[in-house]
Amino acid sequence: MSLRTHLLHREQRLDGTPEQVFGFFAEAKNLEAITPPLLRFEVITPGPIAMHVGTLIEYRLRVHRAPVRWLTSIQAWEPPHRFVDMQLKGPYALWHHVHRFEPDGPRHTVMIDTVSYALGFGRLGELAHRLFVGRDVEQIFEHRARVIGPLLAEDVRARTA
C-alpha cells in the first residue's frame, strides 16, 4: 500500500536578517512559543540543545486531547539559509519539514516552510486527513504566522541588547 503524501507550502516576510531569523529557530524551545496552546506542546529533550545534523529532539503534545510523543531528527543544518527536520517517531507515517530563510532587502527575510507529510492507514488515513488532519496542520501554520513576528522582534531585541 502506497502512502499519499500531502504538501504544505507557506511563505512569510519577517523583520530581521536571515541570521536573526535563523537564530530564533536554532533555539528548539522557541517551537513551544509558536505552537498553538491547545496542543500543549513541550520540548522534553533536556536543554540546551546543540543543533546540528543528527540532533534528536523529543516533544510531548496533545492532539484532540490524545497524548502524543514525537521524535525528530535534524537532517540538514545550513545556517543561516536552511534546515530540515524529519519525524522518526510520532503521529505521521511521514513528516519532512524544510525551513528556508532568504534575504529580502537589508533588514527582512522570507521564511519558506515546505512540509511533506503522510498519515498511513490507507483510506481511513485519507478520510481523517479530509475531516480534520489537513485543517489541523493548516491551523498550526496559521497560528505560527500570527505569532512569529512579535516573538521574533522580542528575540532580536534580547540578542542585540
143-140-71 Cα angle (round to 5) = 130
pLDDT, tens digit (0-9, with 9 covering 90-100), for 36-81: 999 999 999 999 999 999 999 999 999 888 999 999 999 999 999 9
Residue 19 lies in a domain: yes
What pLDDT is stored for residue 159 in this prediction?
78
**What is the residue type of 91?**
P
C-alpha cell at 11: 511563505
Residue 76 lies in a domain: yes
C-alpha cell at 14: 519577517
| CB-count burial class (<10 Å; 0-12, 13-18, 19+) for 65 | exposed
Chain-centre distance for alpha carbon 100: 11
Backbone angles phi, psi at 153, to 5 degrees: -60, -45
Residue 96 lies in a domain: yes
Residue 119 CA to residue 159 CA, distance in Å, equals: 39
Give the global pTM. 0.93
Measured on CA atoms in the order 32, 25, 10, 130, is the torsion positive or negative?
negative
Quickly count: other Cβ atoms within 10 Å of residue 129's Cβ. Answer: 19
Residue 56 lies in a domain: yes
- State mean pLDDT over 92-96: 96
Residue 108 lies in a domain: yes
Q: Do residues 85 and 92 touch, judged by C-beta distance below 8 A? A: no
- The range of the structural domain enclosing residue 13 comes to 6-160
What pLDDT is stored for residue 3 in this prediction?
82
Total domains in the fold of the chain:
1
CATH for 44: 3.30.530.20
pLDDT band at 1 (very low <50, low <70, confident <90, very high): low
28-45: b (≥16 Cβ within 10 Å) or e:
bebbebbbbeebebebee
Residue 106 lies in a domain: yes
Residue 1 lies in a domain: no
